[in-house]
Every structure is written in C-alpha cells, then in structure tokens.
Amino acid sequence: MSYKIAVYAIAKNEEKFAERWANSMSEADEIVVLDTGSDDRTTDILSSYPKIRVYREIIEPWRFDTARNRALSLVSNDADICISTDLDEFFEPGWREGIEKALDKGAQKIRYRYTWNFLSDGREGTVFIADKFHARRSFEWRHPVHEVITYTGEGEPKTVFADGVRLLHKADDKKSRASYLGLLEMSVAECPEDDRNMHYLGREYMFRGRYSDAVKTLKKHLALKSATWADERSASMRYIALCLFRTGDSDGAAAWFMRSCAEAPHLREPWLNFAYFCYDIKEYEAAAALINRALKIKTRPDTYMNESDSWSEKPYDILSMSYYYIGSLPKAREAAEQALELAPDNERIRNNLRCFG
C-alpha cells in the first residue's frame, strides 16, 4: 500500500542544522517548517529544497504547544502519518520503510528509538523510546514546554513500534533555554495535577540552584495521586537528596537517597547517585558496595530516566578510586581496567591504572 508521509517542524535560527535535517527528512512525501522568527539563514537554506514548504509566523506569547499545533495545521489533510522532528534531529537513512511497516499494522501513533545525546567520544548517551509520530487527525500538542502529543479521539490510539527507525539528536548546547522555567511554572499553574510537569519544574529549579524551591516542588510531585511511576518518583527522591546535600544537610540527603533506591531498585541511577554521595563524604566502602549493586543491573531501560553516565566508564572509575582509598589495589586495578575499556582515550584513568601497579 502507498502512504503519504509528512514531516513537520518548528524552527528558529537553526542554520547550522538545516541542511543535515533537510537531507535526512527527504524520504518523506511532504515537509513543512514553521519558522518562528529566524534572523539567520535558516529559511534560505530550507527554501532551497523543492520539497520543503516554509512558513513564517511569530508566536506571541511564546508556547511550544501553540507553535507545534500551528505547524501541524499546515500539513495536508490527506497525510497518513505526521512525523514531528526538530531541526537538530536527524534520521538514520532508510527510515521510511520502518514507518510504512508500522502503518501496515494500522498504526495511529508510532514509537521509535531515540538517541537524545552522545558522549564526547561519539558513543550514544541517553537512549529511550519516543512516540511523537501520529495520524493527521485527532492529535494535538499540549503544555507550554516539554509539550506532549495527545490523542483527542475516543479510547486509545493504536500504537506500533517501528523497527529499524532511529532518530538521533545532536543539540546546540550554546542555545539558550532561559524561557523554560517560566513556561514550566505556567504549565504547572494550568495543570497543577499533572505529575510530569510538576516533576520537570522541580528538576528545573534544581538545575538553576534554587534548591529550596526544588525540594518543595518535588515533594508536591510525590504527593500527587497521579504520581505512580516508580522511575520518576525515584528521580524526584534523588533530586531532593542532591538538593539537601548541596545545602549542607548530609543526613537528610542520605535518607532520601535510601528512599530513592527502595522506590526503583531496578534502575542504576539511584544506586549510583547514592554511591557518589558516599564517595564525596569519604565513605568509600559504602560507595564501592553501592556501585557494585548498581552494576548488577545489566538491562538499560528504554525511558528518558536512564542517564548516559550510568552506562559509561564513570561507575567503574569511581569504583576504582573507592577501592584505592580502601587500600584494595587489585580491585582498584580491575575496576580501572574496566573503565579504560569504555573510555580508552581517558588519560587520567590510564594514569590511575599505572599508579595502582
């Protein structure tokens, strides 16, 4: 069966990514971009591709959901599937075949493998399953920031995983995200019972060093009746612990780290965060025990809660140093060798290994 596949995106000052994105999306039948105020060459680059239709509109007041819904409205009504991407994302070639196979199964919403970031040596960092591809009708974006595509029809949409489809994300780390906090505060004000947004707001306060506000907000998240996902609850608990530690309350931090581990013992992150805390306060035996517990977890989850550091050389590196301070040089050497296997260009770890004999 022949399908019409449409790609749509919003853009502002993305000239450094525009060509890569346009070439990556070329397997689509229709490509629509809503430019929301670029003052660089973004629109010139995109407009040079015959298949791409570029529109311009200033969204005031700015909201990501409003912008994405406007972009979606520009997609032809006869599209079978709408592929929402950002200009700093790109597909591995051959992605159309996976989308068509999902459509053969009656997909109204499509899940796919998403690489959110990469480590400095080029290895994949955080990888999870995303679901932003959807049918043309009965879907809309909601929330001012960290927006989600939402089904507005009856029941649940048929959701299919697209084998072989990989969307990759390489962001501009210099681009300002200054608006996120205000938009998150707006989002929580609009939907105070939305556990996801409450969690994100608490995390954002933590990122900005507003530790008191972060603790208060993350506790609100944990108190919500809808906050039932153990992975996210555990993350809120360890963020509370980190905030308390950074404000000098080590005892309180330890208690919340323990709660975090108990909430989601199947994740590496709570065990490792607790371990790094113990390492920082020079409790090296506890740090080693916690890291070894974390390393027993061999299955990497497919949600955004997995953090790239947890699957990098870092746990083995900290483990080697913990063993060194304990006085167990053979174990320190073994852990450092494992760290170096994952990061062969890390000279510090290589020098540590020499010191361990």
Q: Per-residue pLDDT tens for 153-182?
A: 999 999 999 999 999 999 877 776 778 999
Percent of the chain whose predicted confidence (pLDDT) is above 70 = 100
Residues 212 and 336: their CA atoms lie apart, in Å, by 37
Residue 302 has pLDDT above 90, yes or no: no
125 pLDDT band, cuts 50/70/90, is confident
- Averaged pLDDT for residues 294-313: 92
- Averaged pLDDT for residues 125-142: 96
Q: Per-residue pLDDT tens for 219-258?
A: 999 999 999 999 999 999 999 999 999 999 999 999 999 9
> Rounded to 5 degrees, what angle do the CA atoms 244, 246, 249 make?
45
- Averaged pLDDT for residues 109-133: 92
Question: What average pLDDT is seen over the chain?
Answer: 96
Q: Which of 18-22, 54-58, 302-306, 317-321 has the lowest mean pLDDT?
A: 302-306
Percent of the chain whose predicted confidence (pLDDT) is above 90 = 91
The model's pTM? 0.91
Residue 177: the pLDDT is: 77
Is residue 219 packed enough to be buried (19+ CB in 10 Å), middle (13-18) or exposed (0-12)?
middle
The stretches of the chain forming alpha helices (DSSP H) are 15-24, 42-47, 64-73, 95-104, 180-190, 195-207, 211-223, 230-246, 250-263, 268-280, 284-295, 314-326, 329-342, 347-355
**Is pLDDT larger for residue 302 or for residue 357?**
302
Amino acid making up residue 33: V
